[in-house]
Amino acid sequence: MTAGQRLIEQGRQQGGQWLLLLLLRQRFSKDVDARIEQRVAAATFEQIKVLCTRVVSAATLADVFAD
């Protein structure tokens, strides 16, 4: 992987994290704490995509992160 490709991948990852946190805060504002932020920061891009789709239909924050 070239340096440019790594930068693009890093941008995708950061953008995905930003979007997921935005959605989580919009939907479950009072429940999004440092622990949730850490889980999002540790998630892969593929995991972030799955979590973003779950936010739409999840009744609770626990539903978003259910395995």
Q: Domains in the chain: how many in total?
A: 1
Query: What's residue 2's pLDDT?
Result: 96
- Could you read off the pLDDT of 22-56 as tens digits, one per residue? 999 999 998 999 999 999 999 999 999 999 999 99
Q: Which domain holds residue 36?
A: 3-64
Which 3 state secondary structure label does DSSP give 44?
coil
CA distances from 30 to 6, 7, 43 (A): 34, 33, 21
Q: Is residue 66 very low, low, confident or very high in pLDDT (cuts 50, 70, 90)?
A: very high
